[in-house]
Structure 1
Amino acid sequence: MDGMLIFMVLFKLVVSLVLAVFNFRVNRNTIYLSGVLIIIALFGLLHYSLFANNSPTMLVFMGVYNIPTYYLIGPFLYFYFRGTILDNSKIQKSDLVHFIPFLIAFINIFPSYLKPWDESLELANRILADPNYLKSLNLGWLYPSNFNMIGRPIFMILYVILIIRLYREHSGELYRNALPDSHRQLMRKWLVLLLIVVSFAALSYLLGALVFINTPNIPKETVLHSPLTLIVMLFFLMIPLLIVIFPQVLYGIPIVKKKRKSFDHYLNAGEIYKYVNKSDDPLKEDAIRILDSIHNEKWYLDPEFNVDILSVKLELPKHHIYYCFNYIIKSKFTALRSQLRIEYAKNLLKNEEDISLETVAVQSGYSSLQSLNRAFVEEEGISVYEYLLKLKRN
């Protein structure tokens, strides 16, 4: 059982770090889901240190100093659901109310941060010798410390109720006017399954805490190897497993299973629009708007121009932009940007006889002549110098 517990902790940490590192720039809602997984992993370390590892140092950090953190699971989960349903990851000032339980828990446990380290280790060793000591332990200023055993799952259940209410009120807005029914159904299935797993995890943990509190002198081995403990671990393990099962949801918009075709044309705006207009994708209008803006405003001439800037200018979520490029425009953003810059540079070379190559590079959106030359070789198969000689010969 202790091996399964540490595996669960490590698995959640790995999944949460992958979520945070690889998806934050694309879909910031995943940072809240990463936060949930990290806190659950810390929660697992708490129980590992208490019932399997017998490390007083780990117990002090996970079971005393880290208590306020466990009250963030509910808020982070709520922010993730709300951001996914409403397609908006921003936190408002009014959202600070969700951090009140964390703040209260922090104030309550604050005296423990001021205690000498030796006293904290002595307390941890006493708990490790007999976990039943937790039932009468009181380290707090505002409420008994043993309340945390049932307080954490209770707050999770309250947030589950809040999320259910949010979902019932706004599920119709789930990517309204953005996704086809098949994609929308996938997102709904993911959110409902995630909510069910979290609900059962919170309820089973609350039941386990109540059994522990109301069972006199329960042995540590009995707690660790009880069927209820196994059920709790399985439900908490299912949360990161769902992410493995539903990797499409990480970008906010599902990754469709159709094969992405290559976009190998040389720049021709007419071809692009003709190609995009054939699409029946619900995001086609956004794709056309992206192309219109890039072409008409010539944002690509800015050396700093990237998806972040495009997202701000068009007020479109980045994961929508990535979706449009991958599955409607069928080109990478960087490839299209490079094609537009090279075409602009070619026009300058054709129409401005006395213009220097350095000036062409800067006016075409490149930071240097070397950058222009590299891009020229990639797009045209020849260097900018060879292209210029070719123009002169003709």
Structure 2
Amino acid sequence: MFLDFLYVTSVFFSIVTALVIWFRINKVHNFSAHLIATYLFLNAICFGFYFVILYGAINYFPVLYKMPAPISYLIPPISYIYVRSVLYNENRFRKRDLLHLIPFLFFVANYFSFYTMDLEEKRIIVSRVAENIENVYTVRDGLLPEWVNIMARASQSLIYLFFQWWLLIGFFKRNKENVSKQYRLVKKWLFDFTKLQTLYLISLVCLYVVIFFMVIASVSAEDFMVQFTRVILAVSYLLISGYLLWNPNILIGLPTLLITDANSPTEPQELLLLNIFTDFNTQVQQQKLFLDSSITLSLLAMKTDTSARRISEMISASNYANFNDYINHLRVAHSEKLIQKKYLEKHSIEALGKVCGFHSKNAFYRAFRKEYDCTPKEYSARKSLQGL
């Protein structure tokens, strides 16, 4: 029951995070954001299908059986391309990325005979699986034995994980001198994401090995070994699925890296963006656009006649973690000016936060403490003492 709770929670977090990115956060259609949302959603489908079989619901939808099997071959390449797109600020697939579809298409062809099978025949196979979930690994549903699918999935996952680490380590070795706040945030996220994937895939491969020897090779294994492997698998997947929800700065920022090319004969991209940002920042402050509590990246883009993507790039190059970090910085700076003008002598802290564009008192407190390492009330008292 505890394991089931972990699995269900993980699937729920994955779906919620994916939907939040697609319909609330990624309104500017950032390529890497689409990839991480797709990664989470496909993981939820494949992971959640386990319960559809375990609790016999597959009997009502026999046509869906084996649908997630080929889909699982899309998850490792999507993860790899996501990391690559963040590192190199890519906004589309490369032509050679079509090669990543080969395993997926191969196993679609492998199960094609099952997909086109008569519905009554499918019901017979599915009912056997629903009665005993171990039949998932023994019943031959495609052209190849099921153990081939298991071993291929494990091998593909490990290969992509290796190249993902290779990509990350190589990139950050070549770019050691960039120490901006945004750079450190993205670096931490990508390494944490890959570390959690490593734990998840190692536990998944171990589970596959145990299943292979228990079910296919008919070798007995300790129940403790099976349960321990499943717990590690569930916990690692829970951490992957919930990481962005627990770290909203990353979720809201959906960051990309901007690296200056020292060998470029033209003006470095980051320096150019900083110059543009100076004028943009002046416009935002003069018009006090940050005081609008409903301001979003797309709305700010429209009011300043600047593309949302360019605003994101400028903010990233300007040492802010993300759009919210930038807007909150301006709001807190404005609140500090009002405190200096004795605003709190006649108004509440909640009123101060509201007039500065914050939705709630708690949000105002968090942003203010981040800037000044104290509450607005403490800051006001400190300034009052200094004025005596």
Q: State percent identity of aligned pairs.
A: 19
Name 2:276's counterpart in structure 1.
Answer: 286
TM-superposed CA distance for 1:319, in Å, is: 2.2
Partner of 1:213: 212
Say if 2:6 is the partner of 1:13.
no
What is aligned with 1:311? 307
- In the TM superposition, residue 330 of structure 1 has moved relative to its aligned partner by 8.0
Aligned AA for 1:205? L
TM-aligned CA distance change 1:73 to 1:126, over 3 Å: same
Indicate the SS of the match to 1:140.
Answer: coil
User: What is the CA–CA distance in structure 1 between the aligned matches of 2:162 and 2:303, rounded to whole Å?
Assistant: 37
Structure 1 residues 223 and 109: alpha-carbon distance in aligned structure 2, compared to 1, 3 A threshold: farther
| Residues 181/124 of structure 1: CA separation in 2 closer, same or farther (3 Å cut) | same
Counterpart-to-counterpart distance in 1, 2:246 and 2:310: 24
Equivalent residue in structure 1 for 2:48, among 45, 50, 54: 45
Q: Partner residue of 2:103?
A: 101
Structure 2 distance, partners of 1:29, 1:7, is 25
User: SS at the partner of 1:77?
Assistant: helix
> Aligned in 2, Cα 1:45/1:286: closer, same or farther, shift over 3 Å?
same
Structure 2: tracts of 5 or more residues without a match:
257-270, 285-300, 332-388
Contact residue 132 and residue 218 of structure 1 kept, 8 A = no
Q: CA RMSD for the aligned pairs? A: 3.7
Q: State the distance in 1 between where 2:187 and 2:124 align.
A: 49
User: Aligned residue for 1:164?
Assistant: 165
The one-letter code matched in structure 2 to 1:169 is G
Give the drift of 1:132: 3.2
What code does the residue aligned with 1:170 have?
Answer: F
Query: 3-state DSSP class of the match of 1:64?
Result: coil
Matched, 1:320 2:313: yes
Q: Which moved more, 1:54-63 or 1:94-103?
A: 54-63
Q: Using the alignment, how far apart are the partners of 1:39 and 1:184 within structure 2?
A: 28
> How many Å separate the matches in 2 of 1:81 and 1:58?
38
> Relative to 1, partners in 2 of residues 1:283 and 1:195: Cα closer, same or farther, differing over 3 Å?
same
Corresponding residue of 1:387: none
Q: CA deviation at 1:96?
A: 0.8
Partner letter of residue 205 of structure 2?
Answer: L
Equivalent residues, number: 288
Shift of residue 207, structure 1, vs aligned partner = 0.7
For the residues of structure 2 that align with 1:225 and 1:132, how far apart are their CA atoms?
A: 13
Could you tell me which residue of structure 2 aligns to residue 238 of structure 1? 239
The verdict on how the C-alpha distance between 1:218 and 1:247 changes in structure 2, with shifts beyond 3 A counting, is farther
Note closer, same or farther for the CA distance 1:329–1:233 as it changes in structure 2 (3 Å cut): closer
Give the counterpart letter for 1:79 in structure 2.
Answer: I
Cα distance, 1:56 vs. partner? 2.5
Question: Take 2:52 and 2:247, find their aligned partners in 1: how far apart are those partners?
Answer: 31
1:50–1:128 contact (8 Å) kept in structure 2: yes
- Distance in 2 between the 1:70 and 1:107 partners? 15
Q: How much has 1:184 moved relative to structure 2?
A: 1.5
Per-residue displacement from partner, 1:327-351 (whole Å, max 9, x unpaired)? 399889xxxxxxxxxxxxxxxxxxx
State the Cα deviation string for residues 17-76 of structure 1 (Å, max 9, x = none): 11222232343311111111111111222221233x122347746641221111111111
Output the CA distance in 1 between the equivalents of 2:330 and 2:60. Answer: 50
1:283 deviation in Å? 5.0
Deviation, structure 1 residue 150: 3.1
State the Cα deviation string for residues 91-138 of structure 1 (Å, max 9, x = none).
111111111111111111111111122211211111122333333332
* Contact 1:79 1:89 (C-alpha < 8 Å) held by counterparts: no
